[in-house]
Structure 1
Amino acid sequence: MTTTTFCRAWSIRRADGLTLGFTDHDVTVRFGGLSYRPDHGMTARALVQGSGLSVDNSEAEGALSDDAITERDLLAGRWDNAELKMWEVDWSDPARRRLVFAGRLGEIARSRGAFRAELRGLSEPLNAAQGRVFHPRCSARLGDGACKVDLAGTALRIERQVLAIEDEVRLRLAEFPDHSGGWFERGTLLVLDGPAEGLGGAIKNDLAIAGAGREIELWQQLGTSLRAGDTVRLTAGCDKRAETCRMKFANFLNFRGFPHLPSEDWLMAPQAGGNRG
């Protein structure tokens, strides 16, 4: 590979499968079934890689354009954690190429019609804490392999059309009397159709209003506005307490907490809460 035919190419793939390719060459480069366009959609800055398990460090930046990476999609979170690969490639013979980076997009900042995204290498997950946490509350996520609750159950999931939206975070739905107020708090909302299809959010409050339907409040807006008539799916929430696991989900056998641990006050001064006899 010579410097006269050297260029960079990078592909970025969203969770929904949409894949884009870009290059810093002045013509389109094609390999691996993808076309890498000489577009302003994205450029990559100098790459820093460690020889050990340190986190790779780099940034990607570019202009927000209607036919590539749009501000609307970034705000909606459609590019969050997107998979990114970068090659050094001989544009005269694309078969002669070398993969120099593989990872995902991290934190994304937007300003004045452009974006800047942190690139996180494959070693990034190694920074996560490992092992179990000894705590009275459950360490599993509702519905995961440790919890084993079937979220497809009719009591835990429901689909309804949005009747009205207020302040982008409060949704009015029809009544569903089989579920008491608060049933979906700490749960999730997923949009099934409309402009925000595929986006989801965490539920802050679930209020049953007598004669006025149900009000669901999200912790933050979705990025793409919901419309009246859009269909959403609500999934029940869990506060990680042993009592909730037993009474709400009938799943205490799979509880992953330690509800009988003594309190911090007892650990600091055991004689205050125990028998002295």
Structure 2
Amino acid sequence: MSETIARAWAVTRHDGMVLGFTDHDRSLQFEGIEFRPDSGLSARAVVQGSGLSVDNTEAAGALSDSAITEIDLMAGRWDAADVRLWDVDWSNPENRRLIFRGHLGEVTRSGAAFRAELRGLSEPLNRTQGRVYHPRCSASLGDGQCKFDLTRPGYSAEGVIVAHEDGQRFTLSGIEGHDAAWFERGQLVVISGVANGLSGIVKRDLASAGTRREVELWSGLGVYPAIGDRVRLVAGCDKRGETCRMKFLNYLNFRGFPHLPPEDWLLTPKVNR
């Protein structure tokens, strides 16, 4: 049977798009997916460790307008996509064995080719567990621990891109009624155009004359939006207790320890009285 074994794998993005690939010279069909041979995509040998070791392998291929495009890769639309890999009998696809399941890790590209790291299901088990005792909040704004509702009036605003530089520094119109730096450490989310759905963390937020606003991200968007596209700004949090109490009125859910003594206190010699 080894003469009829091929490798087939399916990649499912978070937006629900599913693509199938195979190293066989003809298309294969199973589980409602067509596995195409013309994608230029291949996988290296799977490395699977015992215990809680991280399963790992790599996928390499050529950028294809009909499958994986350069724009989609740069936009991060393939980040953390679900991956399943089978050994399959191409003469009878019902005779197959699932040998890997995980998700895409880091994706790099060079010219017209790309390489993606595959990470196994056991990877999260190697993450550090437990709370960190720190004066600042350990929650993320709006998550299950913070419980703040970011849809509340005043904590987000929509505007239009008037100009931008390298998809990183934006001039926006239509956003008013917010103090300067209100959106720093928050998010800029593109909600229309070719970059729809992409987001970045706000580094600087400057209120200009009238309704114009200058916003700079920590890193540029993978796909440049067009002038006239709409964006949403979401308020940011610096995780201080004072900010939680005064800006968000959410101190009941503050997850930090603001009254912990500083490190210097531990090193200060105690004087007997």
Same-fold call, TM cutoff 0.5: yes
CA apart distance, 1:244:
0.4
TM superposition shift of 1:104:
0.7
8 A Cα contact 2:168 2:219, kept in partner: yes
**Count of aligned pairs between the two proteins:** 273
Question: Equivalent residue for 1:146?
Answer: 145
Indicate conservation of the 8 Å contact 1:84/1:102, yes or no. yes
Equivalent residue, structure 2, for 1:112? 111
Using the alignment, how far apart are the partners of 1:150 and 1:267 within structure 2?
38
CA contact (8 A) 1:5 1:91 kept: yes
Q: Which runs of 5+ in 2 are unaligned?
A: none
Matches within 5 A, 1:49-60: 49-60=48-59
Residue type of the alignment partner of 1:79: W
Tell me the residue number matched to 1:44. Answer: 43
Q: Match of 1:125?
A: 124
Q: SS of the counterpart of 2:164?
A: strand
1:103 equivalent in alignment to 2:102:
yes
Inter-partner Cα distance in structure 2 for 1:176 and 1:16: 29
SS at match of 1:61: strand
Match of 2:93 in 1: 94
Aligned structure 1 segments of 4 or more residues deviating by more than 6 angstroms = none
Amino acid paired to 2:165:
E
- Please give the alpha-carbon distance, in whole angstroms, between the structure 1 residues aligned to 2:130 and 2:207: 39
Q: Secondary structure at the match of 1:205?
A: strand
1:270 Cα deviation (Å)? Answer: 5.4
Residues 101 and 214 (structure 1), Cα distance of their counterparts in 2 relative to 1, 3 Å cut = same
Residues 66-121 of structure 1 show CA distances to partners (whole Å, capped at 9, x for unaligned) of: 11111221111111111111011111221111110001111111113111111100
Report SS of the residue matched to 1:72.
Answer: helix
Please say if residues 41 and 69 of structure 1, whose CA atoms lie closer than 8 Å, have aligned partners that are also in contact. Answer: no
Q: Distance in 2 between matches of 1:106 and 1:138?
A: 28
Answering whether residue 85 of structure 2 is matched by residue 83 of structure 1, we say: no
- Report the alpha carbon displacement of residue 11 of structure 1 after superposing the two structures with TM: 0.5
In 2, are the aligned partners of 1:175 and 1:208 still within 8 Å (CA)?
A: no
Which secondary structure does the structure 2 equivalent of 1:62 belong to? strand
In 2, Cα distance between equivalents of 1:177 and 1:28: 55
* Counterpart residue type for residue 112 of structure 2: G
- Equivalent runs, 1:262-277 vs 2, <5 Å: 262-269=261-268, 271=270, 277=273
**Is the 8 Å Cα contact of residues 135 and 261 (structure 1) preserved in structure 2?**
yes
1:140-194 Cα deviation digits (max 9, x unpaired): 0000000000011121111111121123211111253321010100001111110
Measured in 2, the distance between the counterparts of 1:41 and 1:223 equals 23
What TM-score comes out, normalization by structure 2 length? 0.96
1:40 CA displacement: 3.3
Question: Which residue number corresponds to residue 156 of structure 2?
Answer: 157
| TM-score, reference length from structure 1 | 0.95
Check conservation: 1:175, 1:212, Cα contact below 8 A. Answer: yes
CA distance in 2 between counterparts of 1:98 and 1:191 reads: 41
Distance 1:99 1:5 in 2: 16
Q: CA deviation at 1:267?
A: 1.3
CA RMSD of aligned residues (A): 1.4
CA distance, structure 1, for counterparts of residue 164 and residue 72 of structure 2: 21
